[in-house]
Amino acid sequence: MIVNGDTKLNHWKRYEYTLDAYNEKGEKKSLTFTSSKQLREGSYLELYVAPFRGVTYWQEVQPDELPDQVKSVYLK
């Protein structure tokens, strides 16, 4: 989930995010990625992660679209 303070503008004029992410099993991992636009605070993201390349794509999702294990972390 995007929270205030997670964002910084890097020297390439891209927004850089470092977030705690959870896979469909509920396992936590810290991921860093960039975006050309500032993401909406409080939004939930589905991240696509490639080995060695990291986050290659993201999309905003609704809370009811989260896997059950991830819902248990965020929607307490």
Q: What is the pLDDT along the chain (76 residues), one digit of tens a residue?
A: 555 556 677 777 888 899 999 988 889 999 999 998 889 888 999 999 999 999 999 999 999 999 888 888 887 7
Beta bridge partners of 55: 49
Rounded Cα distance between 42 and 58, Å, is 15
Residue 2 lies in a domain: no
Q: What is the pLDDT of residue 1?
A: 59
| CA distances from residue 73 to 21, 45, 67 in whole angstroms, order as listed | 10, 14, 10
Residue 1 lies in a domain: no
Neighbours of 44 (CB within 10 A): 19
Q: What is the pLDDT of residue 5?
A: 57
Rounded Cα distance between 25 and 9, Å, is 31
Residue 60 lies in a domain: yes
Q: What is the pLDDT of residue 6?
A: 64
Q: Domain limits at 53?
A: 7-74
Tally of domains within the chain: 1
Q: What is the pLDDT of residue 60?
A: 94
Rounded Cα distance between 60 and 72, Å, is 18
Task: Give me the CATH number covering residue 36.
Answer: 2.40.50.480
